[in-house]
Structure formats: C-alpha cells, structure tokens
Chain A
Amino acid sequence: MKIPLKYIARNLVTRKLTTGITVAGVALVVFVFSAVLMLAHGVHQTLVATGGTDNVIITRKSSNGEISSIIDGDTQSIILTLPYIAKGANGQPIVSREPVVVINLNKIGDGVSNVTVRGVSEPAFALRPQVKLVEGRMFAFGSRELIVGQAIESRFAGAQIGDVVKFAGDQWKIVGKFEAGKSAFDSELWGDALQLLNAFNRGNSISSMTLKLERPEAFESFQRAFEAEQRLNQFEPKVERKYFEEQSEFLSLFISVLGIFVTVIFSAGATIGATITMYAAVANRTVEIGTLRALGFRRRSVLTAFLLESCLLALVGGTLGLVLSSLLQFFRVSTLNFQSFAELEFSFALSPQVILSSLLFALAMGIIGGFIPAVHAARLKIVNALRGA
C-alpha cells in the first residue's frame, strides 16, 4: 500500500473529539475484557501456587473438594504401604494427614463467609516450604491453638492474633500469622490435626492425605501401584498442583464464560461506534479520496488506508484499556470458591497471553468496524468522489 502511514495517523488526530470518543469506547470494552481474563488467570495462578509437583494429595474419588472427602484410618494405613513415598531424616514417610472443615466467620465490614480450617501435622511444613510464619508464634501441638493465613487475618473480624474462635465446643486461640506465597493456603486457618479430629469427634477420619514422592517423575509409577490396590479403589491420588488447579476450574470458568460472553456482546456496541466514526471519516474525505484515486492510487490502497486507520484507532483504545486494567494488579479480591466451599483470596494477574488476547480483540473490533466503511471508500467512483458525493 503506497499511501503513507503518516496520512493515516494524522487523520486520526484531526477529528479529536470523535476519535477520542471511539477510542474511549474500545478502551472500555478492552478494559473489561482484560480484567475478566486477569481475574480468571489470578484464580488459576493462586491455586497453582498452592500445590507442588513432587507432592501427591489423596482424596475420595467422588468428592468435589476436601471438605466432602473422607478417608478412614484403615485406608490411610494401606496408602502408607505404597512405594515411592519419600522419607524424612528420621526415616518416617513425609505424610500429612489433614482433616479439613469450613467455619463461618464475620467479614470486616459486612457479611459472613466460610473459612477453611486445616488440621496439619509436623510434616505439613516440610511439604509446603512456601508457608512462612511472619508474626506471633507457631501453634503448640496438643493445644487448641491456631495460626491464621494473611488473607483471612486482613479480611475477617475476630481473626487477628490474640483473638479466640469458638467452635466444636471449645475456644481456639489464634497465636500466629503466616504467609503462603500468595496461594490458597493464605486463606486458611491451621491447627493441630489430632486436636481438630478430637474436637469434631471424627475418630481418625481425615479429609485428605498429602505425601511427598521420592522424585516427581515417580508419580506415574506411584499411581499404578495405587490403582493396583483394590482396597483403594474409592480414592484417587493427584499431583498436588494439579489437584488445586482443578479446584479453581469452576470458578475460573464461571468468571471467564460470563465475562467473555458479556464482553463480546458489548464489543459489538464499541465496534458499531468505530463503524460510525469511520463512515463519517470517509464521508468527510470524499473529495480527498477522489483526488488520491485521480493521482493514480489504486482502490486497494484506499481500502487498506481506511482499514489501517480503523485498526490504529482500535489499537490505541486497546492499549489504553490494558493500561487501565493493569492497574488492577494492585487489588486483591476475595470470594467464595464454590468447589472448596470456602473463601479464597486472589489477585488480578496479568500475563503475556492476556495482553495478546486483549490487543487481538481490539484489533478485531477495528477490522470488523472499519471494514465496510473502507470498502465503501474504495468503491467510490472518481468523478463522483471529486464532486463530493
């Protein structure tokens, strides 16, 4: 296309108000689009950060989440006989047997929500090196004490160090705060597994078992050994990271589907805005188009010039929208994750994929919006155009 790019760019700047409005429309749509993608990605990222690749978590097959999974004592013993489980310095397998429940706590401000309470044993900390105590002290095993994840500490009333949470007929004191590398564990309360089992009268029926493999590559072999054991056919092992990733599936999907469904609909609105603007541009420059054609520029060049103008408009809007949504990264959001039935804090996470998708989306709006006016411009007869018709 021989028509110079500066022609295209400068034309955008002449009609400032109209161009500005159209750019704003595209920016708004891309803002929402990218925000939705960032949110879904944020959920995913948080949950992926939760699991390691050399840890295996075992739950009941038909359970939707840890809280509806039950593993009795006998089953636990059978699992421990399987090969490939890593052993600690003391020769004992690195296994954490965890009862997981949710309790109601009041949010700071308004409302109530469910918070995960996880019973852990010593190995839990070896299994999850990302968990670090940042304030107060660790709970004492054998006592009714808890440590609180930073997301819960900051969002819920009565969940600060020194507070007492009343459940299972007893008072539990929060003695420390931990951070867990921006993962799901940040939204949990941890306590002694045995104490929790005892308080809830659950005998030794835990929710999940997490163990460390000798090597991450051993998972397939471990899985085969697991499946070969008939008595374990109601349960399944999963790589910890994958388990938690799947826990985010529904929420991510829900956010993505709803968000994208809506964004695509009203991107049609923004696209129409672009079309209107481009039509006006063509109408205003009819004589100019005739002149260019008279000078010898081909129809194709005219088409391309207007299409590029539309695309440039859309890309400017798209970039603006992205810049705005990237500011969302400073916000952390907390909501109920349906699958785990508990509160989960996550952030808006930007990724190269989100950026690319958003820009392509903007570009699509530009191409679709500008196409028909561009064709219209190219199809003008020279003599008519010169007359301004």
Chain B
Amino acid sequence: MRILRLTIRNAFRHRLRSVLTIAGIAIAVTAFGFLRTVVTAWYSGVEASSANRLITRQAISFIFPLPYADKEQIARLPNVRSVSWANWFGGVYKDKSQFFARMAVDGDTYFDVYPEFQIEPDQLAQFKRERNACIVGADLAQQYGFKLGDIIPLDGDIYPGHWEFVVRGIYRPRDKTIDGTQMLFHWDYLNERIRQESPGRADEVGWYIVKIDDPARSAEVSDHIDALFANSRAETKTETERAFQQGFAQSGNVIIGGINFISFVIVGIIMLVLGNTMIMSARERTREYAVFKTLGFSAKYIATMIFGESLVLSIFGAAFGVPLTIGLVKMFEQFVPKAWFPVFYVEPVTYVLAATAALLVGVAAALFPMQRAMRTPIVEGLRFIG
C-alpha cells in the first residue's frame, strides 16, 4: 500500500497541474459520453423493435400507400396473429418547428400490437368510442401540457384541411427505451373525411404492422406476404420491424459516422492532454529518478511509479467525467424538445466505454515517459537541469 500512497501523492505533487489535467480528461470523457448518447438515441428505434412484429409497406417508397383491401389477405396467412395499420399524417401543429409523430392508426388493434404503449383500459375504451379522439404519449403531454379533454388542432398537408382531435388517453411508455411522444388517432375518422373530400384517395393505408406467432418464422412470413402482392400495382416489401427501423437509421449514416469519428478525436485529445502532463512531470523529475536509481531502486520500479501516476490521473478524470455526462445529458434534455429526441438517456455500455477509453489513455500516455525514465543513464540524469 505504500507504493499506492506514494503514487497518489506524486500524482498530486503539482496540485494545480494535476487538477487541470483531471479536468481536461473529465471534459473529454463527458463529450465522449454525450456523443455516444446521441448515437444511441439515433438507433433507439432499432433497439425498441419487437421480434414478433413485421412491417409491410410499399416496395418502391414508404410514401406511397397500400390498398386497405390487402389487410384481409395478410390476416388470412398462417402464423399471422393480427394485423394493424397506420398512416403518417404529418401536418402542422401551431408552426412547422413543433415536430412530433402524428399518425392515424386502427383504434381496435394498434394498442394490442404495441403493448409497450401502456394505457388505462377506461381511457382506451373512451378513445374507441369517439371518432375524433386521440391518444398522446406521456412525454408529449408533458412537453405541451396536454390534459384529458384538451383539443389538439392540426393543419394537414398530406391530408389538407383543418383537423381537430380530443385527447381521450395518455399512454405511458413501458420503459425509457420507448418513444413517448406520439399522437395517435383513428384511421377510420381520417378515411371517412378523405372519402368525402377526395374519394380517389380513400381506403389507403400507409403501412401494415403484422404481429406473428413465431419470430423464428419472420423471413418465411415476410416472403409469403410479399408474394401475395408481387405483380400488383402496389408491390409490398415486408421486413422485421428491426430491419425496417435500421433502414431509417442508416439514412443518417454519414452524420453518425461523423459523430463516431469525432469521438475518436476526443480520445485523441485526452491522450494529448494527459500525455503532455506526464511528459512534463517526468522530465522535471529526471534528476530525482536518477537519485532513486543510485539508492538502489530499479528502472522498472520507476517506470511503475510513472505508470501508476498516469492511471491515477485518468481514473480521477473518468470519475469526474461520468457524473458530468449525466449532467450534460439532463441539460440537453431541458433545452431540446423531447419530441426531437424521444429516447435520450445514457446507456450503461457508454459508461463502460468512457471509463475504458480513459484508462487506455492513461496507459498510452505513460508509455513514452516510462521508456525515457528507464533508458536515461544515471549519470545523465544527475546532470539534468531542465
């Protein structure tokens, strides 16, 4: 234990410098953790996917609808437990910057197919009874102060006109990996009005959500469904929910790649700051190390001391950086509307990665000064003035 105490004391020999070094590492660890959290948030849709849901959409483009009639055919297939559907409504709430997901869904089946949207039975019942009722996520309700009974007005774009919906339910996301910022209302209501205003566009579904019995058969069922509509005007593409979400996430590949690159740069900076400190402190103590050697301490002992000091600094840096990351994430959440990043939290693996990065850096930064301390002959060391 004596070595440990000596190492810690040596690491803080130059209090100001050590504090600065630790601060530098902590900041870099924080940035690293924050960026990874952004990447996690980006892929949250993928992570929240359920293995027993398939998404069926128009093969050529997500924005083209499928006929409502397809539903019957899909529902009749073996291994299909139930079929639900949804249309992306889009539109504008108050102004174009108020973004959140607004969808028309099948009131009867949607919440069965998405059990992770947890809702009180009486709220769900009330929702099913009213044509223009809607259900909003708890996080969305919090962001805008929506309460049961409130009216949400929307201006449609894909479905033009003025629309009003009454909040009859607030769903709770099962856990923090689930999006709690969606607004869901009746597809029937949408379809009715479209039939009146532009009949050519009635009975169209954005995409189907197919709940299957056995996740192991997802490929089989997907092919089966697509075969049904293979040479029709609306060819379908069916894939697991995970693959579907991944497709979306992939589109931001470049940006995510950029963010990952920046994470590496950050690790590089940590290494530079710590390395700088280690080099300087080892350099100052060249004569001291030489004296140690004359007293009989081996070169390896000295190298271990340097290594230990470097690790002490990086451990402290990581220890401060981790709570700072949490603080930064919380601050970000305060300033950025929840609906823009519905899922935003620090994954456990991020902590592990950040700590590991800091430790690895501690090791790497010590290598050069360690080598120098070991190699410098005693006589040269004693002569060193600096």
Contact = CB atoms under 8 A, between A and B. Distances in A.
Contacts of A22: 272, 276
B294 to A, nearest CB: 24
B273 A273 contact: yes
B16 A279 contact: yes
17 contacts: A18-B280, A31-B265, A62-B91, A102-B63, A110-B250, A113-B251, A114-B62, A169-B234, A200-B64, A259-B262, A262-B35, A265-B31, A266-B269, A276-B20, A279-B16, A279-B17, A335-B252
Contacts of B262: 32, 259, 262
Given A29-B269, A103-B60, A336 B252 contact: yes
Interface residues of A, number: 61
Contact of B253 (A32, A166, A335, A341): A335
Given A21-B275, A114-B61, A275-B20, A269 B255 contact: no
A108 interface: no
B277 interface: yes
A265 B275 contact: no
Contact of A64 (B63, B96, B250): B96
B157 A334 contact: no
Interface stretch (B21-29, B44-52, B125-133, B171-179): B21-29
Contact of A265 (B23, B30, B247): B30
A189 B244 CA distance: 24
B156 interface: yes
A203 interface: yes
B200 interface: yes
Interface in A16-50: 17-18, 21-22, 24-25, 28-29, 31-32, 39
Across the A-B interface, the 4 shortest Cβ-Cβ residue pairs: A336-B251, A272-B24, A167-B60, A63-B157
Given A62-B156, A104-B59, A272-B23, 16 more contacts: A21-B275, A21-B276, A25-B269, A25-B272, A60-B160, A61-B155, A64-B90, A64-B92, A64-B96, A104-B60, A110-B250, A168-B233, A259-B262, A266-B266, A277-B276, A335-B251
B350 to A, nearest CB: 15
A193 interface: no
Interface string A92-119: 0000000001111000001111100000
Interface stretch (A65-73, A135-143, A173-181, A301-309): A65-73
Nearest to A65: B157
Contacts of A39: 258
B280 A280 contact: yes
Given A28-B269, A272-B20, A336-B251, A64 B280 contact: no
- The listed residue with most A CB atoms (<10 A of its CB), out of B27, B38, B91, B92, is B27
Contacts of B233: 168-169
Interface in A329-349: 333-336, 341, 343
Interface of B is mostly: helix
Contact of B254 (A69, A254, A275, A335): A335
B216 interface: no
B255 A234 contact: no
A232 to B, nearest CB: 13
A32 B328 CA distance: 20
A21 B233 CA distance: 63
B349 interface: no
Interface in B221-244: 232-234
B34 A262 contact: yes
A336 B250 CA distance: 9
Contacts of B250: 110-113
A69 B90 CA distance: 11
Given A101-B64, A168-B60, A276-B20, A21 B34 contact: no
B386 interface: yes
A139 B225 CA distance: 35
B255 A32 contact: no
A268 interface: yes
B158 interface: yes
Interface of A: 17-18, 21-22, 24-25, 28-29, 31-32, 39, 60-64, 67-70, 101-104, 110-114, 166-169, 200-201, 203, 234, 254-255, 258-259, 262, 265-266, 268-270, 272-273, 275-277, 279-280, 284, 333-336, 341, 343
A359 B265 CA distance: 19
A264 to B, nearest CB: 9
A48 B21 CA distance: 45
Nearest to B250: A111
Residue among A22, A32, A269, A343 with most chain B CB within 10 A: A269
B279 interface: yes
Given A28-B269, A60-B160, A334-B254, A276 B17 contact: yes
B183 interface: no
Contacts of A169: 232-234
Interface centre among A201, A234, A334 (most CB of B within 10 A): A234
Contacts of A67: 63
Nearest to B231: A169
Contacts of A63: 157-158
Nearest to A63: B157
B270 interface: yes
B276 A32 contact: no
B339 to A, nearest CB: 13
A111 B20 contact: no
Nearest to A205: B198
Contacts of B38: 258
Contact of A272 (B62, B259, B273): B273
Interface in B29-83: 30-31, 34-35, 38, 59-64
Contacts of B276: 18, 21-22, 25, 273, 276-277
A288 B270 CA distance: 31
Contacts of A201: 200
A24 B91 CA distance: 48
B97 to A, nearest CB: 9
A272 B279 CA distance: 16
Interface in B262-305: 262, 265-266, 268-270, 272-273, 275-277, 279-280
B265 A28 contact: yes
